[in-house]
Structure 1
Amino acid sequence: MEAALAEFADKGRAGARVESIAQCAGVSVRMLYVYFGNKDQLYEAVLREHVAQRASALSDASVPLSDFAPRHFAELRRDETFVRLVMWEGLTTSATHPPVNKEERSERYAEFLDYLKGRRDAGELDPSLDTEMALVAVLALASFPSAFGHIVHMATGLRPTDPAFTERYETFLRDLAHRLAPPTPPCQE
């Protein structure tokens, strides 16, 4: 699975070679086919396992809103392979190759949406904001540095792996979450 993960993250579903995966794993191509059926089934198994690992790492619904995006960002920084895998999936999704494990993953996003609605109900998120679009924005903000490190570097002079960038970005994400809170009503005398 590790050899397949590296190959798919590097080359995508279409570019990955079963022969390279087998050689790296120290097994025969035939054995890969015995265990996984074909390259698409191996790809789906790799993505399914990796998505499940990421979901369990981000499952705490008691996290304050100000920590939600920074936690996602930190998790994706620890595992840029996952970001690459999902980017490849996005580039190759089609009627022939739908998203892997779409129903279960959609349920996970529904849980994140419920989390945001809960934070809204707790007064941490402005009720006038579209929570679905807020979720999309949080996911984009958390993944952008890992997905587009070259743009981060051009825009800031820092690489996403630089501790100075990480500290500044996490501070920014927390500040942004506070700014998304409902406005405080003016004091009445």
Structure 2
Amino acid sequence: MAYDAEDTRRRIFEAAAAEFAEHGLAGARVDRIATAADANKQAIYLYYGNKEKLFAAVLRAKLEEIRVSVRLDPDAVAESAGQIFDWYQQHPELIRLLLWESLEGGGGLDEIERERRVGFREKVDHLLDGGVARHLPADARVHATQDLLFTIMGLIAWNFAVPRMCRVVLDEESDHAALARRRRTVVEAVRTLAAAPPP
């Protein structure tokens, strides 16, 4: 059977995403990634350069995945927050990757940060164009919308960053019950935050 470079690259990527989500950048091992991917270590270095670049590629792809999967609708911000909540529940690896990135830093992520800034500016512009924070003076609208976006992200992400704490604080018997309750609360909180006060 002929060597399939794309299939090898895909297997490496999937194995790396799982390895980094579980162990972070420092704790991840290239040999474990190679074994899980049924590939050799040389293929990893050939396709991705080094472990840091592989981590950056995984993180970039996961952020792109959510960007194309879920969009904040300026006319239905609360409902959009519910959809984002659902996406994170189905893809818990992104929160773990972001937490590892925050804990471990990593000097090779400057390019990703620039890309993210551009991406989030686009999200803010989309919300502004849709009328979010229209009750504010023009010079205050951008900051208010950025703050709203980051607050929404925090309201959602914290549930998946500390699922045990979520269950314990809410005094629920299961993660499922706690997350269902939190989803309703997050959607209503975002609805309140996004509602413009009367003129």
Q: Which TM-score applies when normalising by structure 2?
A: 0.79
How far 1:111 sits from its partner (Å)?
Answer: 2.2
- The secondary structure found in structure 1 opposite 2:172 is coil
Written as runs of structure 1 = structure 2, the 5 A alignment for 1:104-119 is 104-117=115-128, 118-119=130-131
Amino acid at match of 1:147: A
Written as runs of structure 1 = structure 2, the 5 A alignment for 1:1-189 is 1-59=13-71, 61=73, 64-94=76-106, 96-99=107-110, 101-117=112-128, 118-120=130-132, 130-158=144-172, 161-162=175-176, 164-180=177-193, 181-184=195-198
Question: Which segment is superposed worse, 82-91 or 43-52?
Answer: 43-52
How far 1:142 sits from its partner (Å)?
Answer: 1.0
1:36-58 Cα distance to aligned partner (Å, 9 max, x none): 22111211221121111111012
Give 5+ residue unaligned stretches, structure 2: 1-12
How far 1:178 sits from its partner (Å)?
Answer: 3.1
Question: Which segment is superposed worse, 107-116 or 25-34?
Answer: 107-116
Whole-Å separation in 1 of the counterparts to 2:196 and 2:97 = 36
Amino acid at match of 2:32: S
How far 1:79 sits from its partner (Å)?
Answer: 0.4
Amino acid at match of 2:165: I
Change in 2 beyond 3 A, CA 1:99/1:58: farther
Q: Going by fraction, where is helix more abundant, 1 or 2?
A: 2
Question: Which segment is superposed worse, 21-30 or 35-44?
Answer: 35-44
Change in 2 beyond 3 A, CA 1:28/1:54: same
Does the 8 Å contact 1:64/1:119 carry over to 2?
no
How far 1:184 sits from its partner (Å)?
Answer: 4.2
Identity among equivalent positions (%) equals 27
Question: Which segment is superposed worse, 81-90 or 44-53?
Answer: 44-53
Amino acid at match of 1:48: R
Amino acid at match of 2:115: E
- The secondary structure found in structure 1 opposite 2:96 is helix
List, as ranges, runs of 4+ consecutive aligned residues in structure 1 with deviation greater than 4 Å: none
Q: Which TM-score applies when normalising by structure 1?
A: 0.83
- The secondary structure found in structure 2 opposite 1:120 is coil
Amino acid at match of 1:143: A
Change in 2 beyond 3 A, CA 1:182/1:46: closer
Change in 2 beyond 3 A, CA 1:173/1:148: same
How far 1:171 sits from its partner (Å)?
Answer: 2.0
Does the 8 Å contact 1:48/1:100 carry over to 2?
no
Question: Which segment is superposed worse, 144-153 or 98-107?
Answer: 98-107
Whole-Å separation in 1 of the counterparts to 2:175 and 2:111 = 29
